[in-house]
Amino acid sequence: MVFVSFPGDEKSSGGCLAAGRGFFHINSHGGAEPCPFSPYSDVNVRDTGLKGAMNSALFNALRSGDLLVDDHKGGCVLYEKREQVQALLASEKNN
């Protein structure tokens, strides 16, 4: 059985499945991104491998917070709250 999740399906799937909660995206340069609609990356799979990407500081911050399960207006929660994602990325790069 194959399950597919799209923006707007968060309520039925227990929140957004991005950042390794169900999937993540690898861009054409190898950057591991929470999803294609949230093109932010703090690691490259060429350097870290898939397990390293799953444990990136950005992914861990997204999974440990409430952002992925927050209510939103529809569409992609990470795109809608991109300022918060950018702030997480900036704080992780400064640590």
Q: What is the pLDDT of residues 12-69, one digit of tens each?
A: 667 788 888 888 999 999 999 998 889 999 999 999 999 999 999 999 999 998 888 8
- pTM, full prediction: 0.82
CA-closest candidate to residue 17, choices 88, 66, 69, 79: 69
* Helix (H/G/I), strand (E/B), else coil: 32: strand
Which residues have C-beta within 8 Å of that of residue 3, sequence separation ≥ 6?
Answer: 13
Question: Residue 33 in contact with residue 82, Cβ under 8 Å?
Answer: no
Task: State the Cα angle at 35 between 78 and 94, rounded to 5°.
Answer: 70
